[in-house]
Amino acid sequence: MMKDIKKHVREAYSEIARDQKDKGESSCCAANSCCGSKYSIFSEDYSHLEGYNQDADLGLGCGIPTVFAGIKTGDTVLDLGSGAGNDCFIARKLTGETGEVIGIDFTPEMVELAVNNLRKSGYTNVYFRLGDIEHLPVTANKADVVISNCVLNLIPDKSKAFSEIFRVLKTGGHFSVSDIVLKGNVSNAVRSAVALYAGCISGALQYDDYLSKIFDAGFSNIRVHSAKQVIVPDALMLQHISDEELMEFRNSGTEIMSITVSADKPKTCCCGCDC
């Protein structure tokens, strides 16, 4: 089952990478779903940030994790699910020439796209690697900061993902992640309808469960910096569900949320965790 999920995600994002005409309209979607839509319910405007690279902005995010990442000059930064490289280039502006930025993506076409964008940037301390977030191709205690933008939600084993983030962070390091979560129960019909429009919803955890997995991985000082409800237009929902199902969903109080959360790898451990 997990292999099937990964296969679908890889195929979807491979198609997005190949199809540049949909750039900026994908909104964290899976191929053959919302791609080409004129709506953008997840992605935020990056264009005002230093280091922004329009060619690298595919509109696939659901927040701006670098804003809360506390990246300093000289830091080593890992971007998980780096796509075409936009967050990496913004992180490079913050870490400067003395730092290092490593983007990791498990879609070969995305890595190729990012490398092409890197060639045009002139940066010599940004790198892109092919790799799986559940088995990161990075040594332990490597990064000062880990960032990720609307990607962990797509990972089948989120506990393993946060465990890997913990492993690669230096003692005292931290992460800043934007992702999609749920508050309240979503029926299978509604989940399927929203997934057709925005693929990120398909693997979304409940808000409290998401934060619990971060805590269980050993992190401390967990902070939710931003949380906003994502509204999928009724007209799009009604293409896939009935009026009654839509009304039930709207009246349920269930929320699809975009959050940005950060947490620290403690400087000391008393529980046997890998510090």
Give the domain CATH number at 39: 3.40.50.150
What is the reported pLDDT for 34? 39
**Owning domain of residue 98:** 2-264
Q: DSSP 3-state assignment of 20?
A: helix
What is the reported pLDDT for 35? 39
- Give the chain's domain count: 1
Q: Which of 90, 81, 214 is nearest to 158 (CA)?
A: 214
What is the reported pLDDT for 230? 83
List pLDDT tens digits, range 134-176: 999 999 999 999 999 999 988 889 999 999 999 999 999 999 9
User: Which has the higher per-residue pLDDT, 33 or 250?
Assistant: 250
Q: Is residue 217 within 8 Å of residue 163, measured between CB atoms?
A: yes
What is the reported pLDDT for 18? 63
Triad 91, 54, 199: Cα angle to 5°: 85
Does a structural domain hold residue 30? yes
What is the reported pLDDT for 113? 93
Query: How does the average pLDDT of the chain come out, rounded?
Result: 84
Does a structural domain hold residue 272? no
Does a structural domain hold residue 274? no
Q: Does residue 24 register a pLDDT over 80?
A: no
Helices marked H in the chain: 2-18, 86-95, 108-121, 158-168, 188-197, 207-216, 234-237, 243-251
How many other C-beta atoms are found inside a 10 Å radius of the C-beta of residue 107? 21
Q: Is residue 261 within 8 Å of residue 225, measured between CB atoms?
A: yes
Does a structural domain hold residue 275? no
Pairing of strands 100-105, 169-183: unpaired
Those residues with Cβ within 8 angstroms of residue 218's Cβ, 6 or more apart along the chain or in another chain = 166, 265, 266, 269, 271, 273, 274
What is the reported pLDDT for 17? 59
What is the reported pLDDT for 90? 97
What is the reported pLDDT for 217? 98
Q: Which of 135, 254, 133, 126 is nearest to 190 (CA)?
A: 254
Does a structural domain hold residue 35? yes
What is the reported pLDDT for 172? 97
pTM of the shown model: 0.85
Q: Is residue 264 within 8 Å of residue 256, measured between CB atoms?
A: no
What is the reported pLDDT for 233? 80
List pLDDT tens digits, range 87-126: 999 999 999 999 999 999 999 999 999 999 999 999 999 9
Q: Is residue 78 within 8 Å of residue 141, measured between CB atoms?
A: no
